[in-house]
Amino acid sequence: MTDNHKQNLSDQDERLAEENAAKKTLASIKRRELAYSKSSQKTSSGPNSDKSTALMSRKDKRKLRSERNAEPKVELSRRTMLRQRELILITIPFVLYGILFYYIPLGGWVMAFQKYKPQDGLLGSQWVGLDVFKHLFSEASFRLVFRNTLAMGIINLILSFVFAIGFALLLNEVRLRAPKRFVQTVSYLPHFLSWIIVVGIVRDMLSVEHGIINQILVGIGIFDKPLNFFSKPNLFWWIVGFSNVWKETGWNSIIYLAAITAINPEMYEAAALDGAGRFGKMWHVTLPGIKPTIFILLLINVGNVLNVGFEVQYLLTNGIVKSVSETIDIWVLYWGIGQGDFSLGTAAGIFKSIVSIILIYLANATAKAAGEERLF
């Protein structure tokens, strides 16, 4: 369920959540480093430090102490626990819930190292080491879905970034409030439609018989006759990519629009003095101004490349394009739930998680080498 839940949260939500988390870890690391440097200073100054603090007034000492513990440090003692028993009591059910729904399923990962049979259970099934993984990689269909997932992930990543940033930049240039607000409101609308509705719409728009896109393309003479978009395997990834753009561009632009408001207005005045026009300001001030935001979101999303999901591909596919439309998630659904091969399905899921972690580390290392904003 977590998997499905996560997928269904919009990309933006996930991105933000992870950004929040990332920022927090970053902040906490900084805090720890600060604390560390302070404590090392103290020890390095040796016995003298005691004397120096002894010379301080009590007020200064208190100030120093409060500086050191920007976050109140609470000792884990019976007394504090008794004092905070209400808080602890409230927390217990949540932790139990978390263990049951988020952590116990992780125990299911052992299935990937077993020839799991439901009647034998997790403990009684035969252990097979890495055989399941060997089977997984020797499976041609798995290599195919891995390629598809990666390709669609990369296409989606690039398209969604380019369009969301571009849209935010252009929208920011609208000076009249009412039209700006109107465009903004309209742009959020598709985010609130389910993928089922969006896929229906995409099918209608691209349909051979009366699809508006075919009508226009034939009308202006680009095509001789209507094209059946869904029978062309080389178009499928792009249909998915642009469906995603249609659905999420407005929503994804929210974060950039917010970042733009934080740019110092003096920068624009300076650019104007240098003779920059509207486009020049957008290109040389606004875009660099949101660069840190772009980088951090990009980093987080690189780790999500394999989570292109399931819904669009599952709903849009047909027999002709099956070889390019299936993703890892669909494959897991087919083999794991459909065919009952739980071990294989679990192994594919684990592989996906590992690749995601490697990707996020690589992206982070690249950002570090390039001296850009990074996650950790």
Partner 1 sequence: MQNIELQPKTEIMPMKKNRFKKANPADVIFVLINTLILSFTVAITLYPILNTLAVSFNDGLDALRGGIYLWPRVISFKNYETVFNTKNLVIGARNSVLRTAISAVLHLSVTALLSYVLSIKEFVFRKPVSLFFVLTMYVNAGLIPTFLLFRELQLTNSFMVYIVPGIVSAFNLLVLRTYMSSLPDSLRESAQIDGANHLTIFWKIYVPICKPVFATIALFIAVYHWSAWFDNMIYNPRNTNLTTLQYELMKLLSSVTSQTSSGGAYGRGSQPVAVTPNSIRAAATIVTSMPIVILYPFLQRYFITGLTIGGVKE
Within 55-114, the residues that bind partner 1 by CB under 8 A are 71-72, 74, 76, 80-81, 84, 86-88, 90-91, 94-95, 97-98, 101-109, 111
How many CA atoms lie within 13 Å of 134's alpha carbon, on the beta-carbon side?
Answer: 7
| CB-based contacts of 237, cutoff 8 Å, min separation 6 | 148, 151, 152, 155, 324
Least Å distance between CB 210 and partner 1?
3
Report the alpha-carbon distance of residue 217 to residue 208 in Å, rounded: 11
Nearest CA-CA partner of 250 in 328, 183, 203: 183
Nearest to 314 by CA among 136, 155, 145: 145
Structure tokens at 230: 């869904």
The interface region with partner 1, picked from 41-49, 153-161, 232-240, 345-353 by CB under 8 A, is 345-353
CB of 126 to partner 1, least distance (A): 18
Choose between 45 and 84: whose C-beta lies nearer to partner 1: 84
- Residue 350 binding partner 1, by CB under 8 A: yes
Compute the distance between CA of residue 168 and CA of residue 174 in angstroms, rounded to an integer.
10
When binding is defined by CB under 8 A, the residue of 190, 239, 248, 324 that contacts partner 1 is: 190
Q: Is 8 in the site for partner 1 (CB under 8 A)?
A: yes
Q: CA of 344: how far to CAs of 130, 190, 356, in Å?
A: 11, 36, 19
Using an 8 Å Cβ cutoff, are 31 and 70 in contact? yes
For residue 208 the two structure tokens come to 């051979």
Shortest reach from residue 284's CB to partner 1, in Å: 12
| 354 forms part of the interface with partner 1 (CB under 8 A) | no
User: Is position 20 an interface residue for partner 1 (rule: CB under 8 A)?
Assistant: yes
- Scanning 52-60, 140-148, 149-157, 205-213 for contacts with partner 1 by CB under 8 A, the matching segment is 205-213
Candidate residues 29, 64, 337, 365; the one interacting with partner 1 per rule CB under 8 A: 337
Q: In the numeric block, which tokens belong to residue 89?
A: 């009591």
Of 226-255, binders to partner 1 (CB under 8 A) are 246, 250, 254-255
Q: Check residue 164 for interaction with partner 1 (CB under 8 A).
A: no
Contact predicate 303/359, CB 8 Å: yes
Q: Which of residues 23-62 bind partner 1 (CB under 8 A)?
A: 23-24, 27
The per-residue DSSP string of 15-45 comes to: HHHHHHHHHHHHHHHHHHHHHHHHHHHHHHT
Burial 39-49 (b: 16+ CB within 10 A, else e): eeeeeeeeeee
183 binds partner 1, rule: CB under 8 A: yes
Which residue, 43 or 194, is less far from partner 1 as judged by CB? 194
By the rule CB under 8 A, 212 interacts with partner 1: yes
Q: How far apart are CA 363 and CA 141, in angstroms?
A: 28
Contact set for partner 1, span 263-302 (CB under 8 A)? 272-273, 275-280, 293
185 interacts with partner 1 by CB under 8 A? yes
Is 189 an interacting residue with respect to partner 1 (CB under 8 A)?
yes
**Is the torsion defined by CA of 259, 264, 269, 271 positive or negative?**
negative
Confirm or reject binding of residue 225 to partner 1 (CB under 8 A): no
Residues that bind partner 1 (rule: CB under 8 A) add up to a total of: 110
When binding is defined by CB under 8 A, the residue of 217, 235, 298, 315 that contacts partner 1 is: 315
